[in-house]
Amino acid sequence: MARYLVTGVAGFIGSNIAHALVVRGEQVRGIDDFRHGRAENLAGIADKIDLREADITDTAAIGSACRDIDFVLHQAALGSVPRSIEDPVSSNDANVVGTLKVLEAARAAGVKRVVYASSSSVYGDTPVLPKREDMPCHPISPYAVTKYAGELYAQSFSRVMSLEAVSLRYFNVFGPRQHPTSQYAAVIPKFVRSILAGEPPVIFGDGKQSRDFTYVDNVVSANLLACTAPAENVVGKVFNIAAGKNFSVNDLYAMLQDLTGFRRAAVNEPPRGGDVRDSLADISRAQKAMGYKTLVEFEEGLRRTVEWYKREFARQPGSSVATV
């Protein structure tokens, strides 16, 4: 039985990883400061994991959390491109300083391997598709800069600090437990919440911008594969984690309309600063190095996500689901 530490364990991706590890019967420790993570994301497993409420920038807390751990799955971050533009200093503190402290704590504790959650945003708005890991990175937003800095730290620790580290570049992850109400929420939960409330969603720009939407189960699988893949295949390297297909925002809304029966036109607003136009991943490197594959395709993941939000929405007092 391996021992795992999940940072950001009460967040969207972290909680999905923790649930999967508990189902597998692994020993799980989680750390979260609960500024953005939610206790309800850990419903059913909170009493089955070693849960610690602390900030990853707290040197003593993260040092203690890394003791007697085999693998660190570092998901904790201050997400959102718009938020990073409004407050780049906080993004840097959480994502760069926090990541550095996680890596140093893991090295000092003798952790076998750290898997770092990076982002496709590091590629920037280069027109070449699909994105390959050997392409130059041109991050646009402060958020993207922080994620790229984390990758460089992970590579540095792998090369000169005797710590195995792997970086995974996530592409537009979605699925259950993704929070829909924040102004910084991702497009799919925001769209679904609007539809279920009977309100037309907002599309920034013309809606023709495309994304490689990646269901969360695929990301969970990638993290676990990255822990045990041969060191020569993965350590000190970066990998795209995606579905390898892209859909426009307009396509997304049309599919959600078919799934829900909601037929009102979306509201278009001006494009947001810092957003890339198109995104599509080449996932062949991850497939060859660690046996990664798309377990759940976009359409099926979207169906599962809508059903999950319907159940969550129905639990709220006075709620009703729009069907026209």
- Do 148 and 95 touch, CB atoms closer than 8 A? no
- Sequence-distant (6+) residues with CB within 8 A of 85 are 141, 142, 143, 273, 274
- Of the listed ranges 137-146, 180-189, 197-206, 266-275, the least confidently predicted one is 180-189
Amino acid 87: pLDDT: 92
Sequence-distant (6+) residues with CB within 8 A of 110 are none
Of 123, 143, 253, 292, the active-site residue reads 143
CATH number assigned to the domain with residue range 3-174+216-241, chosen from the 4 options 3.20.20.210, 3.40.50.720, 3.40.50.970, 3.40.30.10: 3.40.50.720
Distance in angstroms (rounded) separating the CA atoms of residues 250 and 252: 5
Closest to 52 in 3D by CA, of 17, 115, 10: 10
CB-CB neighbours of 68 under 10 Å: 13
- Phi, psi at residue 138, to the nearest 5°? -135, 70
The mean pLDDT of 305-318, rounded to a whole number, is: 81
Residue 143 annotated in active site = yes
pLDDT confidence tier of residue 216, bands split at 50, 70 and 90: very high
Question: Rounded mean pLDDT of 277-286?
Answer: 95
pLDDT of 25 > 50? The answer is yes
pTM of the model: 0.93
d(CA 293, CA 161): 31
pLDDT of residue 13: 97
Res 323: pLDDT: 43
CA distances (Å), 68 to each of 5, 96, 200, 232, 258, in order? 10, 24, 50, 24, 49
Residue 136 token pair: 């130059």
Q: Give the pLDDT of residue 302.
A: 97
Burial of 230 from C-beta contacts in 10 A (0-12 / 13-18 / 19+): exposed
State residue 180's pLDDT score.
77
Q: How confident is the model over 108-155, as pLDDT tens digits?
A: 999 999 999 999 999 998 889 999 999 999 999 999 999 999 999 999
**AA identity, residue 151:** E
Q: Where are the beta strands (DSSP E) in the chain?
A: 3-7, 27-32, 50-53, 71-74, 113-119, 164-170, 173-174, 202-204, 210-211, 214-215, 238-241, 247-248, 267-269
Q: What is the mean pLDDT of the chain?
A: 93
* pLDDT tens column, 65-90: 999 999 999 999 998 888 899 999 99
Comparing CA positions, the residue from 77, 45, 162 lying closest to residue 114 is: 162
Q: How many CB atoms neighbour CB 307 within 10 A?
A: 12
